[in-house]
């Protein structure tokens, strides 16, 4: 059912006839398309976690009672309906801190008036999920300022594929967490860390306390 719809300005997104796109425009207003089946799976999983049935979701979203049953019958809703449903089913994820070039991850008590962010992406939810916000533009083009990075609080095993092109959230013993590329060190248990803020700074033979994969991102434009 997937098809590409091309790019649309965010300001015009509510007026797009989504049924003609063969799916749904991602909540950020980008070109990412998800099928009706994918959306229904998101609704099913999140409603189970939140303990909500279809009618209660529609009530909280201020939608007709049959809005979700209509989707189950294969009718694609407009974007405003999709947005209303996803806002009800979005998760609240604690904000761990702000990523700052040359500093690392500074713990935050507040981010734009709140110490949490809502998650709409297709990321497996659990109570240990956390978020980091990118605090400056030194991480472009990989991450733009305002990008939200999601990772797990639980101590992660050191990645088996160390030469991945993807950075990790890492914690060197006695230092603040940071987001860096991970490479093998001079001996087992030590790791070389490469900065991704444009400085290309390399930390040799770091003793990592923990290392967490970044499981998803969102750019808050």
- Percent of the chain at pLDDT > 70 equals 71
Last residue of a domain, one of 65, 89, 113: 89
My answer on whether 195 and 103 are in the same domain is: yes
pLDDT digits (tens, 9 = 90+) for 95-116: 889 999 989 998 775 444 457 7
Q: Is the pTM higher than 0.75?
A: no
pLDDT digits (tens, 9 = 90+) for 127-177: 788 889 999 999 998 999 988 898 987 666 666 655 678 899 999 988 999
* Any domain includes 4: no
Give, rounded to a whole angstrom, the gap between the first and last alpha carbons of the chain: 28
The pLDDT assigned to 72 comes to 92
pLDDT digits (tens, 9 = 90+) for 5-19: 222 233 333 333 333
My answer on whether 98 and 168 are in the same domain is: yes
3-state secondary structure of 139: helix
My answer on whether 26 and 85 are in the same domain is: yes
| Residue 92: pLDDT over 80 | no
My answer on whether 202 and 97 are in the same domain is: yes
The pLDDT assigned to 14 comes to 37
Strands 91-100 and 116-119: antiparallel
Q: What domain range includes position 85?
A: 10-89
| Residue 63: pLDDT over 90 | yes
CA atoms lying within 13 Å on the CB side of residue 162: 13
CA distance 202 to 99: 17
């Amino acid at each position: 059912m997937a098809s590409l719809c091309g790019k649309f300005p965010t300001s015009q997104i509510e007026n797009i006839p989504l049924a003609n796109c063969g799916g749904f425009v991602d909540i950020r207003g980008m070109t990412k398309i998800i099928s009706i089946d994918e959306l229904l799976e998101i609704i099913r999983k999140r409603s189970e976690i939140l303990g909500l049935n279809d009618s209660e979701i529609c009530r909280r979203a201020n939608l007709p009672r049959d809005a979700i049953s209509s989707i189950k019958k294969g009718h694609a809703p407009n974007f405003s309906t999709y947005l209303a449903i996803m806002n009800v089913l979005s998760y609240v994820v604690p904000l761990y801190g702000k990523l700052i070039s040359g500093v690392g991850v500074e713990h935050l008590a507040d981010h734009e008036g709140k110490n949490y962010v809502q998650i709409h992406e297709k990321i497996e939810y659990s109570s240990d999920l956390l978020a980091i916000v990118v605090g400056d533009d030194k991480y472009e083009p990989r991450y733009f300022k305002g990008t939200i990075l999601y990772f797990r609080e639980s101590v992660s095993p050191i990645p088996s594929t160390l030469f991945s092109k993807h950075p990790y959230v890492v914690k060197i013993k006695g230092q603040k967490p940071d987001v860096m590329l991970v490479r093998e060190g001079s001996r087992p248990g030590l790791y070389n860390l490469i900065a991704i803020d444009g400085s290309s700074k390399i930390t040799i033979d770091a003793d990592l306390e923990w290392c967490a994969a970044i499981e998803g991102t969102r750019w808050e434009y």
